Amino acid sequence: MSTDSTFAVRAFVEQNSAGFVEDLKSWLRIPSVSGDPDRVGDVRASAEWLAAKLRATGFPTVEIWESGGGRGLPSVFAEWPSGDPDAPTVAVYGHHDVQPGTPVELWDTAPFDPQVRDGRLFARGASDDKGQLFFHLLGVRAHLAATGRTAPAVNLKLIVEGEEESGSPHFAALLREHAERLACDVVVVSDTGMWDRHTPSTVTGMRGLLAAQIDVRGPSGDVHSGSFGGAIPNPITELVRLLAGLHDADRRVTLPGFYDGVVELGATERQLFAKLPFDEARWLRTAKSRAAVGEAGFSTLERVWARPTAEINGIWGGHTGHGSKTIVPSEAHAKISFRLVAGQDLAQVREALESWLAERVPEWIEYSVSFEGHGVRPCLTPLDHPALNSVTCALGRAFADDPDGEPREVLYTREGGSGPEADLQEVLGAPVVFLGLSLPEDGWHAPNERVEVANLLKGAEAAAYLWEDLAGNK
């Protein structure tokens, strides 16, 4: 490590922590709730606040990008070229919009009045995601100060979305529109967490998603079950027979070829997952469930992180009101969704569902299947990917007692769902790695959202190490 310890990253971060927290509090006071039409102006104010702060930090290019849909929920783009023609290009992703603060009465202090208590900063967005995006501004300053550079060792780009909490409805289009400006070698997402306060970890993959609706039609109108029941097809019966066959006895999905190409968990990753201190009773409380049940041969974490699933999200048909109504109903419907893992192809799963239905639905039943959008691709970064190695090294140093001594072990997690990360991977064609230090108890989307100030500072420190590492300077 060549860095002069006077300007070492950790020392710089610590010296500037008070100002960092005060700045972040200013930003957190802006209630940039993208889901609330009355807060559109605040989302814009938040974007402008961030843009000004990025300029002050030294980013030579800072732009506010309008999102699609005319909703006025802009994103912020910033770029800071390295100046080194061989430097890799990194795009950092985060978002500056937040969840609503409601119900306000469940908060100990108001959601948009940030307060630090016992080393924790309480405010809506403190952890998700303003805090975790904001540590990058301190991180790049620490990186420059520690290395004596005037520009980062990597070409640094930031894309900070303004409607992630509204489901990122225009983000893929925004990425496509600005694909050239955002071109990069690796995407660093700072919108996730670590396993727990004692276990630094990084996310290596997220499951994709394909959502569909199946509609089954029986009689052209409801008919009397006394007059006709037992002699004509009941669409609910046909639907439940179909759906009951969606999984086999081992709770594996029965669509033909569904598992073809699935990137199976390697022995190393299974061992690393198993090292995570998993408390099933506690997990079940979070899952609001009494039992862990799933595909035979896999642990709970493997099931939610690394295995594809078929889930029935909703079902309806016939009489659903009070009392009984003795009908053979006209229609039955179900919403189902598939979580997909690396190696599965959206179009292939879609076709598999279509052919599975065509094969199983009796000829005398009318049905249709429709898909919700195009779905979300799964993303996965192999454990031996150099960028992933850089992230674990950076985190290992940030969590070590001495950043130049023995690094802490960093474990791997995945996420069972996915946000705009898959869009980043798909549109930008770059691997996605995750630098997020939120804790499970930070209360995302809940009252009393908070963040450990120490973790934000570790994030800034890790980011500084990461830029050096990715540039090849260790």
Interaction residues for a copy of itself, span 237-266 (CB under 8 A): 237, 239-241, 243-247
Q: Is 346 in the site for a copy of itself (CB under 8 A)?
A: no
* Minimum CB distance to a copy of itself smaller for 11 or for 292: 292
Q: Minimal distance in Å, beta carbon 344 to a copy of itself? A: 14
Q: Minimal distance in Å, beta carbon 102 to a copy of itself? A: 17
Q: Is 379 in the site for a copy of itself (CB under 8 A)?
A: no
Q: In this chain, which stretch among 39-47, 56-64, 152-160, 319-327 interacts with a copy of itself, using CB under 8 A?
A: 319-327
Q: Using an 8 Å Cβ cutoff, are 13 and 460 in contact?
A: yes
Q: Is 446 in the site for a copy of itself (CB under 8 A)?
A: no
Q: How many residues bind a copy of itself (CB under 8 A)?
A: 78
* Minimum CB distance to a copy of itself smaller for 153 or for 206: 206
- Dihedral through CA 234, CA 237, CA 239, CA 244, nearest 10? -170
Q: Is 370 in the site for a copy of itself (CB under 8 A)?
A: no
At 138, list the tokens: 């301190």
Q: Which of 124, 307, 377, 450 binds a copy of itself (CB under 8 A)?
A: 307
Q: Is 425 in the site for a copy of itself (CB under 8 A)?
A: no
* Minimum CB distance to a copy of itself smaller for 138 or for 353: 353
* Minimum CB distance to a copy of itself smaller for 305 or for 467: 305
Distance CA 390, CA 141 (A): 19
Its sign, for the CA torsion 220, 225, 226, 231, is: positive
Q: Using an 8 Å Cβ cutoff, are 129 and 94 in contact?
A: yes
Q: Minimal distance in Å, beta carbon 42 to a copy of itself? A: 26
Q: Is 361 in the site for a copy of itself (CB under 8 A)?
A: no
Cis-peptide into 129, omega within 30 deg: yes
At 210, list the tokens: 């394909």
Give me Rg for the CA atoms of the chain: 25
Q: Is 314 in the site for a copy of itself (CB under 8 A)?
A: yes
* Minimum CB distance to a copy of itself smaller for 61 or for 326: 326
Give me the residue label for tokens 């009773």: 281
Q: Minimal distance in Å, beta carbon 440 to a copy of itself? A: 11
Q: Minimal distance in Å, beta carbon 155 to a copy of itself? A: 32
What does each C-alpha distance from 194 to 276, 312, 440, 442, 466 come to in angstroms? 11, 29, 8, 11, 17
Strand order in the sheet with 208-217: 331-340, 208-217, 366-376
Q: Which of 132, 337, 344, 425 binds a copy of itself (CB under 8 A)?
A: 337
Q: Is 457 in the site for a copy of itself (CB under 8 A)?
A: no
Query: Which residues ranging from 43 to 62 are in contact with a copy of itself (CB under 8 A)?
Result: none
Q: In this chain, which stretch among 172-180, 183-191, 305-313, 447-455 interacts with a copy of itself, using CB under 8 A?
A: 305-313
- The 69-88 site mask, x for binding a copy of itself (CB under 8 A), equals --------------------
What does each C-alpha distance from 385 to 204, 235, 382, 399, 432 come to in angstroms? 10, 50, 5, 21, 10
Q: Which residues contact 289 (CB under 8 A, 6 or more apart)?
A: none
Q: Which of 85, 277, 281, 288 binds a copy of itself (CB under 8 A)?
A: 288
DSSP 6: G
Distance CA 266, CA 420 (A): 26
Query: Which residues ranging from 166 to 195 are in contact with a copy of itself (CB under 8 A)?
Result: none
Q: Which of 26, 102, 227, 355 binds a copy of itself (CB under 8 A)?
A: 227
Distance CA 173, CA 179 (A): 10
Q: Minimal distance in Å, beta carbon 189 to a copy of itself? A: 15
The DSSP-derived string for 254-289 is -STTTTTT--PPPHHHHHHHHHS---HHHHHHHTT-
Q: In this chain, which stretch among 1-9, 85-93, 137-145, 318-326 interacts with a copy of itself, using CB under 8 A?
A: 318-326
Q: Is 211 in the site for a copy of itself (CB under 8 A)?
A: yes
Distance CA 234, CA 342 (A): 38
